[in-house]
Structure formats: C-alpha cells, structure tokens
Amino acid sequence: GQQLNQSPQSMFIQEGEDVSMNCTSSSIFNTWLWYKQDPGEGPVLLIALYKAGELTSNGRLTAQFGITRKDSFLNISASIPSDVGIYFCAGNPLRSSGTYKYIFGTGTRLKVLA
C-alpha cells in the first residue's frame, strides 16, 4: 500500500539534543498529523496541521506544514528518555478532503541515550 517517505528511518541521540524529522509526498495534502507510537500500543496524536506554512507547537514539539503542501516537519527540542518511540506522519490527500482516509509515513524510530 501507499506510504509517505519519512526520514530519517531511525536515529540515536543524546538526552538534551534536538531532533528533526520530515515527511514528504508526491501528492498535495490538506491535513498533516503527527503521531507517536510506543511498542504494542496504538499511535497517540501529537500535533495536527491544517494550512500550508502553519507552525504549531505542543510543549517541546513543533511541527510545520510545508508551503508546497507536499511535506511536513517535526522537531523535538531538548529530548528526554521518554521521547523514545516511533514517530509517524499521516497525511489526508486533497482528493480525500473531509474524510479521515489517511496515508501514513514509514516511521522514524527514535532512541534517546541518557
């Protein structure tokens, strides 16, 4: 099935460092969602983005809706051990506006070294 390109695939960082990851698509999206998933659990919604260029924060997390509407970025500042997990982007294609048919990225696996 279709998945969005997400990078990096995985990253090991030191506690306190900032983290950046991104998600790209060949199609235009009207909504971007960022989720975090812990092993054996369902994804938890972190941030939702609705307009091109929008920058939204949730605590130490900041996400941006790319101006081209084909990409999105997530930054985590001052990482802590509990940030470990898999981060997924999910996009709602323009042709599916008003629905909840989301396409997910391949995931970025984050490990934080204390």
Partner 1 sequence: DAGVTQSPTHLIKTRGQQVTLRCSPKSGHDTVSWYQQALGQGPQFIFQYYEEEERQRGNFPDRFSGHQFPNYSSELNVNALLLGDSALYLCASSSKLLALRFNEQFFGPGTRLTVL
Question: Where along the sequence are the contacts to partner 1 (CB under 8 A)?
Answer: 1, 3-4, 6, 30-31, 33, 35, 40-45, 48, 50, 88, 90, 92, 96-107
d(CA 5, CA 17): 24
Residue number, 24 or 106, with CB nearest to partner 1 = 106
| 8 A C-beta contact, residue 19 and residue 13 | yes
**Rg for the chain, CA atoms, rounded:** 13
Name the minimum Å distance from CB 7 to partner 1. Answer: 13
81: cis peptide before it, omega within 30°?
Answer: no
Name the minimum Å distance from CB 25 to partner 1. Answer: 13
CA 53-55-56 angle, 5° bins: 145
Name the minimum Å distance from CB 83 to partner 1. Answer: 19
Residue number, 36 or 79, with CB nearest to partner 1 = 36
